């Protein structure tokens, strides 16, 4: 019995900012900024929200299925910390715009950046349970952070260049062409900690240092639990590639360095070479999008799959961390066919095709972001306010967010 990823695609917006320009404009210490290892961030446009991003990530996957296969999707799990309603799940909107069968479970999951892994593992277990043989689950990880004011707090000054916007859609089934999970190879580790959170809508709070230490604690302990459950597992030799939740590239580099030193007693030069070989492929997409929270671990996994060398079937180790906190280390196999099956989605081209904003373009989005807060009852999106990025969407059959009317969100394919 196999289970895992049959198809995976992303949508990471239509506008992007070079974060080096941002760092200069904000007078950040450039040495510290370089340690972030980030290059670009997706800037959310007013006509994009977590729902339209999710649909745009999933639609190419759905369009590629036959009617019969579409009818086999038994659930849509939305994984997010950017929900738009305390009660109604975003899955209901996405289900509608994807045109799926009404015999389908619709719900939303949360645990900060761990949400994507929580949803993915629930979907995998649904397939492995054989409760509904031959059926599929659609997991949509989608998160967004709209900047509307720039905080003076030093703690969060480095959050602005590393926070992104986007979605990853994953079709989970018993035909895991892209990533076949290692059944039962899961180490989890969680406990209550107040590191970073969203205690009020539309803003983050917390302690960045504590979050970093908690990430390191979890990375080590979830892997140790993985080792307890997988006989003979070795941090260095078991995994050809590693894909970690990437709040920023430097965090992953730091965690990998710590693991290699602690678990393998490796020396700095050796660790650096190993990082370049086994970890760098997973960072390439994350460095161009920014942290998309619940969707980041799978963006890293996708990046490792698309940018690695799979001349034979190889194993990828995945680490997911969500503040609060919960974490998991798991793994799966990627065959030489995986890259070919993903080509049709043109993922690298999508990242390349985003409109490159200037600092003033970027800051001109703040006022409208301020009007799109959680709980907005009525709002009409002016799509033409940002004509250059909109030109990257129009005519491409993308879903855009157009209106909120009595709290009900409206979308259109353009």
Q: Which stretches of the chain bind another protein, using CB under 8 A? A: 32, 35, 193, 195, 207-210, 212-214, 216-217, 250-251, 253-254, 257-258, 261-262
Decide if 55 contacts 97 (C-beta within 8 A): yes
CA-CA distances (angstroms) from residue 196 to 156, 193, 204, 215, 300?
Answer: 11, 9, 7, 11, 21
Active-site annotation holder among 12, 79, 113, 218 = 113
Active-site annotation holder among 245, 256, 298, 350 = 245
Q: Would residue 408 show up in a list of annotated catalytic residues for this protein?
A: no
Q: Would residue 350 show up in a list of annotated catalytic residues for this protein?
A: no
| 179-205 as b/e: b if 16+ CB within 10 A | bbbbeebbbbbbeebebbbbeeebebe
Q: Please say which residue, 31 or 406, places its beta carbon nearer to another protein.
A: 31
Q: How far is the CB of 191 from another protein (least distance, A)?
A: 8
Which residues contact residue 225 at a Cβ distance below 8 angstroms, ignoring those fewer than 6 apart?
187, 188, 189, 329
Q: How far is the CB of 207 from another protein (least distance, A)?
A: 7
Q: Please say which residue, 28 or 297, places its beta carbon nearer to another protein.
A: 28
- For the chain, the first-to-last Cα distance in angstroms comes to 41
Q: Please say which residue, 158 or 285, places its beta carbon nearer to another protein.
A: 158
Q: How far is the CB of 210 from another protein (least distance, A)?
A: 4
Active-site annotation holder among 6, 40, 48, 81 = 81
Q: Please say which residue, 71 or 254, places its beta carbon nearer to another protein.
A: 254
The alpha carbon of 250 is separated from its chain's Cα centroid by a whole number of angstroms, namely 17
Q: How far apart are CA 119 and CA 111, in angstroms?
A: 10
Q: How many CB atoms lie within 10 A of CB 339?
A: 16
Q: How far is the CB of 253 from another protein (least distance, A)?
A: 8
Residue 185 DSSP symbol = E
Q: How far is the CB of 208 from another protein (least distance, A)?
A: 7
Q: Please say which residue, 210 or 394, places its beta carbon nearer to another protein.
A: 210
Q: Both tokens of residue 250?
A: 């430097």
| 274-297 as b/e: b if 16+ CB within 10 A | bbeebbbbbbbbbbbbbbbbbbbb
Q: Please say which residue, 17 or 193, places its beta carbon nearer to another protein.
A: 193
Q: How far is the CB of 154 from another protein (least distance, A)?
A: 9
Q: Please say which residue, 128 or 216, places its beta carbon nearer to another protein.
A: 216
Which residues contact residue 366 at a Cβ distance below 8 angstroms, ignoring those fewer than 6 apart?
147, 148, 149
Q: How far apart are CA 290 and CA 227, in angstroms?
A: 31
The alpha carbon of 155 is separated from its chain's Cα centroid by a whole number of angstroms, namely 23
Q: How far apart are CA 221 and CA 215, in angstroms?
A: 10
Which residue from 47, 57, 46, 55 is spatially nearest to 12, judged by alpha carbons?
57
Q: How far is the CB of 412 from another protein (least distance, A)?
A: 43
Q: Would residue 245 show up in a list of annotated catalytic residues for this protein?
A: yes
Q: Which residues are catalytic?
A: 81, 113, 245
């Amino acid at each position: 019995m196999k289970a895992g990823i049959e198809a995976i695609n992303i949508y990471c917006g239509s506008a992007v900012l070079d974060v080096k320009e941002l760092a200069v404009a904000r007078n950040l210490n450039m040495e510290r900024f370089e340690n972030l290892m980030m290059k670009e961030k997706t800037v959310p446009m007013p006509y994009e929200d977590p729902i339209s991003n999710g649909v745009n990530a999933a639609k190419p996957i759905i369009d590629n299925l036959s009617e019969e296969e579409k009818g086999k999707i038994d659930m849509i799990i939305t994984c997010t910390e950017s929900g738009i309603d305390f009660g109604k799940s975003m899955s209901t909107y996405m289900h509608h715009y994807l045109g799926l069968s009404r015999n389908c479970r619709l719900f939303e999951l949360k645990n900060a950046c761990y949400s994507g892994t929580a949803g993915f593992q629930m979907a995998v277990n649904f397939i492995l349970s054989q409760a509904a043989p031959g059926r599929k689950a659609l997991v949509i990880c989608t998160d967004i952070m709209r900047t509307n004011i720039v905080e003076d707090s030093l703690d969060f000054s480095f959050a602005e260049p590393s926070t992104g916007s986007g979605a990853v859609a994953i079709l989970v089934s018993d035909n895991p062409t892209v990533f076949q999970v290692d059944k039962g190879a899961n180490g989890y580790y969680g406990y209550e900690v107040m590191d970073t959170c969203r205690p009020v809508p539309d803003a983050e709070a917390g302690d960045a240092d504590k979050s970093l230490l908690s990430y390191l604690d979890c990375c080590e302990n979830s892997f140790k639990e993985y080792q307890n459950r997988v006989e003979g597992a070795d941090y260095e030799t078991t995994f050809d590639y590693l894909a970690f939740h990437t709040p920023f590239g430097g965090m992953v580099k730091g965690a990998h360095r710590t693991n290699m030193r602690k678990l393998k007693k490796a020396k700095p030069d050796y660790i650096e070479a190993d990082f370049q070989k086994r970890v760098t492929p997973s960072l390439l997409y994350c460095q161009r999008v920014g942290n998309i929270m619940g969707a980041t671990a799978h963006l890293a996994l996708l990046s490792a799959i698309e940018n690695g060398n799979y001349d034979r079937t190889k194993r990828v180790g995945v680490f997911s961390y969500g503040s609060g906190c919960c974490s998991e280390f798991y793994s799966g196999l990627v065959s030489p066919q995986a890259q070919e099956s993903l080509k049709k989605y043109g993922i690298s081209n999508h990242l390349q095709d985003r409109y490159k904003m200037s600092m003033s373009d970027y800051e001109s989005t703040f006022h409208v972001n301020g009007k799109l807060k959680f709980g907005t009852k009525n709002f009409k999106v002016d799509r033409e306010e940002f004509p250059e990025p909109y030109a990257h969407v129009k005519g491409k059959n993308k879903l855009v967010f157009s209106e909120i009317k009595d709290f009900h969100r409206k979308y259109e394919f353009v």
